[in-house]
Structures are given as structure tokens and as C-alpha cells.
Amino acid sequence: MRSLESTQFILFLAFLSFQTTSPRNLACPTCLEPLSRHGPQGFNRAAIAKSILRCQTCSKDFPSDGTFIDLTLGANRSTWQETLPIGVRLFRTKWISLIYEENWRKSFEKFGFPGPDREVELAETFLQTAVDPSRPDEENLLVDISCGTGLHSRRFAKSATFTAVVAADFSEAMLIQCHALLNEKQSPWNEKVVLVRADASRLPFASGSISAVYSGAALHCWESPSIAIAEICRVLRPGGVLVATTFLPRWKSKLQTTQKFMRLIFGTKIFFFEDELDELFETSGLVSYQKIKIDSYIMVCARKKQVPASNYGVK
């Protein structure tokens, strides 16, 4: 944990060295007002790692630790800690982050997950429709929610569909490992990946500011998927796209009781039944709901409804 004195020193040096800019998308997790950024120009990993974000409304500062910027409600707190479900705490452990890509995630292929390359390829068939060349570069970005170790974030950055990829996760351990792998697997595309600690139930992005959101094998890990999807709907711009993947059980009748029991233990769903998933998305306010299924793997896609010009007072 960084000491208060070292944090203050970092703040002092940054304010002496850099200029203030106003990013269009990052927002205070407390009041959801846009943040000002003090640091090098550009929206990339190197620039954000040397930046401090400030909320003019709350007078709160969010400095980077050189790895990621913490934009959760618990940022800068050292004493108060929320009580979290076991399922959430599990993914905050270092050992899970270390085995995630080579062991944990590879085991998903036994359930029909086609592997990270194909998963990104499938996702991009939907996500690329959210890119608007007429918008500034910083608005054509992808947020990878619950990014884990950046398994998909790195591939999205390489594809060049988006000008930047925000790799967002609640787990500090996952983000540290994501940072390490970005450095280890050196590539010019990796600088497009910006690391942010974020809570899916309180996304630190301005309303209507994000082109596309992806979440790979994470819906079932969220404490409240309905709140998280409502948050995603809030931050997507009109016409923006959400793509997410999760597990379907192979034997519904045998697992209904099991699901309830596992929910009590872990505090998260572990998997979805297809009718649950359909209803979750169809009642979310998102439209154009589509899905792809391969064995227990399911990819769902939905779009934020376009607002008619007349709603803006345009004739």
C-alpha cells in the first residue's frame, strides 16, 4: 500500500511537470462527473501511467501507481473495506492471476469456448459496427470489463479496430499480471491498452461516452449482473455495442438446485440458464439482441438504442 507521503510527493511532481487535459470518457466513481487529467498528452498506457486524475466536484485525486489507476469507490482508502462475496475475493488473489491464462482459462475450451483468438474474431464482427470514423479518436475506444490478465485486451489492441482499449478489472492482482504480460509480450499495439481498476456495478466512465464494451467469461462472476448491464447501458453512446460471453449448463434440470446452492456459497451465479440470459438482456434497455452458441459457450450481443434526432430538438 502506497504511503500518504509518497502519494503527495507523486502529486506534487506531476503538477509541476505536466499540463491538464479533460478526457471525454473517464469519470469520478463517486459523482460520475468527468475527470480532468494532469499528465502527458495522449490516451495510452505510458501517458495514463504517469497521470493524475482529479474530480473538480469531489476534489478527489486518483493518481496512477505506474501500473493502473484505481477508479473504484474504495480508491485511496486504507482502513474501510467492503465485505465481498467469496467469488469476488477469489479473483483478487495473486495465485489465481498467475495461473489464469495458462491453466484456468484454457480449461474453458472443454466447454466449447473456441479460444481467445477466435473469441475476439467473433466479438469483432459485432463490435466493429460501433466505430464511428467521424468521432475523435478518444471516443472510438473499447472497454474490456473484467479483463483479467488482458488475454483479450491485447488481441483487441492488435486488431486496430479501436484507437485504444481500456482493460478494466476489480482485481488488483489481475491488473498487475496484465501489466506484467503487456511488458513481457512486447508489441507496439500493447501501448494502446490502458489499465483501470473499476467496479462493473459503478463504472468510472461518463454517460454516453463509450463506443463498445466487451466482457469475456465474466457475466457469471458479477455480484449483480443486472446492475452491471444497466451501468454498461449508461456509459455506451447511442448505437454503442455490448458483447459478452458466459457459460450455459449442459443439463438444466439437474443444475437448477445446484445453481442456487452455489450462489449462496460464492455470491455469484457461476453460470446462466439461457432463458435467464435472454430475459436479462431483453429487459435491459438494449436492443438488437443476438447470440452465438457453441456447446456450453454463449456469446451475446446487444446495442444501445439510437436516440431520434427529434429527441434533441432537431427538426
What residues does each domain of the chain span? 86-305
Residue 143, C-beta contacts closer than 8 angstroms, at least 6 positions apart: 165, 166, 168, 203, 205, 210, 212, 213, 214, 235
Q: State the pLDDT at residue 255.
A: 53
Q: Determine the Cα–Cα distance for residues 233 and 213; give it in Å rounded to an integer.
A: 10
Q: Which three cell numbers stand for residue 176?
A: 498487475
Q: What is the pTM of this model?
A: 0.85
Q: State the pLDDT at residue 63.
A: 86
Q: State the pLDDT at residue 223.
A: 83
Contact 144, 245 (CB under 8 A): no
Topology classification of domain 86-305: Rossmann fold (3.40.50)
Contact 201, 180 (CB under 8 A): no
Q: Determine the Cα–Cα distance for residues 253 and 309; give it in Å rounded to an integer.
A: 47
Contact 288, 302 (CB under 8 A): yes
Q: How far is CA 147 from CA 155, 165, 202, in A?
A: 12, 10, 16
Q: State the pLDDT at residue 309.
A: 45
Residue type, 159: S
Q: Determine the Cα–Cα distance for residues 216 and 153; give it in Å rounded to an integer.
A: 10
DSSP, collapsed to helix, strand or coil, labels residue 278 as: helix
DSSP, collapsed to helix, strand or coil, labels residue 96 as: helix
- Of 15, 54, 12, the closest CA to residue 37 belongs to 54
pLDDT tens, the chain, 315 aa long: 455 555 555 555 554 455 566 667 999 999 999 999 988 888 889 898 889 999 989 999 998 888 999 999 988 777 667 766 666 667 677 878 888 888 888 888 988 999 999 999 999 999 999 988 777 666 789 999 999 999 999 999 998 889 999 999 999 999 999 999 999 887 888 889 999 999 999 999 999 999 999 999 998 888 889 999 999 999 999 999 999 999 888 655 555 555 554 555 454 556 578 888 899 998 999 999 999 999 989 999 999 998 664 443 433
- CB neighbours (10 Å) of residue 47? 18
Q: State the pLDDT at residue 61.
A: 92
**Cα Rg for the chain, rounded, in angstroms?**
19
* Sequence-ordered strand ranges (E) for the chain: 19-21, 36-39, 52-55, 60-63, 69-70, 141-145, 164-169, 193-197, 210-215, 236-247, 286-294, 297-304
